[in-house]
């Protein structure tokens, strides 16, 4: 059951009681989010049905294609900032020709999936949480359950599938735009030719860097979707609750992106 009756608890006694109440509440929320993730993944077998396929394609367009504008701008400026700061540091050692390597590896390993995840969490995750939160407080989700329509299969699964596909694609696009932005700075401000820049960028970048970055992007997309849908389904107290759920979805997504990104880097490169 997605919808839940309001819960009332007696006030905790003392600081220890408040700490225990806080810990139990957050453990329960983590458990509910993991159950939602499990149900969404098991529902992926229905993704190729007619209605689910249509919903997934619409979500891929809304979450992916319509995010290209802001992703392009952020990616280009991220590459330009990386190239400028790295090139200034390398100029002290007369090694500014290697700026392409630094930009390419940084974008593939960290900055590409990280910036894409943050943008999607802010743009897409907040929209998901607000939409599902509005449906929850207006009892539309409860109406789906009354009609024996699974809210997870109908609302969550297409979003998970769309984000799982589009986030790695957008991450690869972000990396390429970042490398192009870095090349502009290297060519105009650091006097590094395009040929030398691209040669150094491709020479030292490994396929492992790309695969790890795409794995991060896949996990980020699933995290953003599950967190946003869970917070949306947990919204209460009308419009105020929807706003709080949207805010919490973005904050939790940001924190999990940082933690999971660090964890994956440590697992593959330490």
How much is the pLDDT for 26? 85
> Quick check: 7 pLDDT over 70?
no
How much is the pLDDT for 263? 94
- CA atoms within 13 A of residue 190's CA, in its CB half-sphere: 31
Tell whether 233 is covered by a domain.
yes
Q: How far apart are CA 199 and CA 202, in angstroms?
A: 5
Tell whether 20 is covered by a domain.
no
The tens digit of pLDDT for each residue in 68-106 reads 999 999 999 999 999 999 888 888 888 888 888 889 999
| pLDDT (average), residues 49-76 | 92
Tell whether 41 is covered by a domain.
no
Q: How far apart are CA 26 and CA 11, in angstroms?
A: 17
Tell whether 5 is covered by a domain.
no
Residue showing tokens 């590409």: 112
The tens digit of pLDDT for each residue in 129-171 reads 999 999 988 888 888 888 888 889 989 999 999 999 999 999 9
| Residue of 182, 220, 163, 159 lying closest to 98 (CA atoms) | 182
Tell whether 158 is covered by a domain.
yes
pLDDT-derived band at 3, boundaries 50, 70, 90: low
What proportion of the chain, given as a percentage, has pLDDT over 90? 56
Tell whether 84 is covered by a domain.
yes
pLDDT-derived band at 25, boundaries 50, 70, 90: confident
> Quick check: 255 pLDDT over 90?
yes
Tell whether 25 is covered by a domain.
no
Predicted structure pTM score: 0.90
How much is the pLDDT for 249? 94
| CB contact set of 63 (below 8 Å; sequence gap of 6+) | 120, 124, 159, 162, 163, 166
Tell whether 226 is covered by a domain.
yes
> Quick check: 5 pLDDT over 70?
no
Domain tally, the chain: 1
Structural domain range at position 157: 48-269
């Amino acid at each position: 059951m997605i919808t839940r009756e309001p819960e009332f608890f007696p006030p905790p006694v003392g600081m220890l009681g408040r700490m225990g109440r806080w810990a139990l509440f957050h453990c329960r929320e983590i458990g509910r989010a993991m159950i939602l993730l499990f149900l969404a993944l098991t529902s992926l077998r229905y993704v190729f049905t007619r209605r689910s396929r249509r919903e997934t394609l619409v979500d891929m367009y809304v979450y992916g294609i319509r995010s290209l504008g802001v992703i392009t701008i952020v990616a280009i400026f991220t590459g330009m900032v990386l190239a400028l700061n790295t090139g200034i540091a390398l100029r002290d050692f007369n090694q500014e020709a290697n700026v392409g390597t630094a930009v390419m590896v940084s974008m593939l390993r960290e900055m590409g999936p990280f910036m894409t995840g943050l943008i999607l969490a802010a743009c897409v995750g907040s929209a998901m949480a607000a939409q599902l939160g509005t449906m929850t407080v207006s009892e539309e989700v409860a109406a789906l359950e009354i009609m024996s329509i699974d809210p997870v299969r109908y609302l969550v699964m297409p979003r998970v599938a769309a984000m799982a596909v589009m986030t790695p694609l957008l991450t690869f696009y972000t990396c390429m735009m970042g490398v192009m932005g870095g090349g502009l700075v290297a060519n105009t401000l650091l006097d590094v030719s395009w040929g030398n820049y691209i040669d150094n960028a491709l020479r030292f970048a490994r396929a492992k860097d790309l695969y790890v970055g795409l794995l991060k992007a896949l996990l980020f997309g699933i995290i953003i979707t599950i967190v946003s849908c869970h917070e949306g389904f947990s919204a209460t107290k009308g419009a105020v609750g929807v706003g709080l759920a949207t805010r919490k979805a973005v904050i939790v997504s940001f924190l999990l992106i940082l933690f999971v990104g660090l964890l994956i880097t440590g697992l593959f490169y330490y």
